[in-house]
């Protein structure tokens, strides 16, 4: 099962709910964990279902996050790979 690391900085604390909604809405996201959170940044680990292309999931999540959060927060997302 592939994993994705998602880092969002320059965000508002209320954006965490928007981030969670984006992840929950994606049918290829198996699970998520909040690794680190401050008032203006969050780091999440995301597990991708085995049948999904992790790179494509990254693209989908980035598009979804941009539509909800706009262009202001810095969003970094990358496939980590490996097994869970």
Per-residue pLDDT tens over the stretch 5-24? 999 999 998 999 999 999 99
- 28-49 mean pLDDT: 96
Domains in the chain: boundaries = 3-79
Model's pTM, two decimal places? 0.90
CA distances to 5, 33, 38, 51, 76 from 83, rounded to whole Å, are 14, 15, 28, 13, 21
Q: Is 65 helix (H, G, I), strand (E, B) or coil?
A: helix
Outline where DSSP puts E strands in the chain: 3-9, 29-38, 41-48, 74-79
- 27-35 mean pLDDT: 97
Identify the CATH class of 3-79: alpha beta
Res 47 pLDDT > 80: yes
How confident is the model at residue 82, as a pLDDT? 60
How confident is the model at residue 84, as a pLDDT? 42
């Amino acid at each position: 099962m592939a994993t994705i690391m998602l880092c969002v900085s320059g965000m508002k604390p209320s954006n965490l709910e928007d981030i969670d909604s984006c992840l929950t809405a994606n049918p290829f996201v198996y699970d998520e964990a909040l690794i680190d959170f401050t008032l203006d940044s969050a780091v999440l680990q995301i597990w991708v279902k085995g049948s999904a292309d992790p790179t494509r999931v990254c693209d989908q999540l980035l598009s979804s996050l941009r539509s909800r959060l706009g262009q202001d927060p810095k969003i970094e997302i990358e496939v980590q790979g490996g097994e869970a």
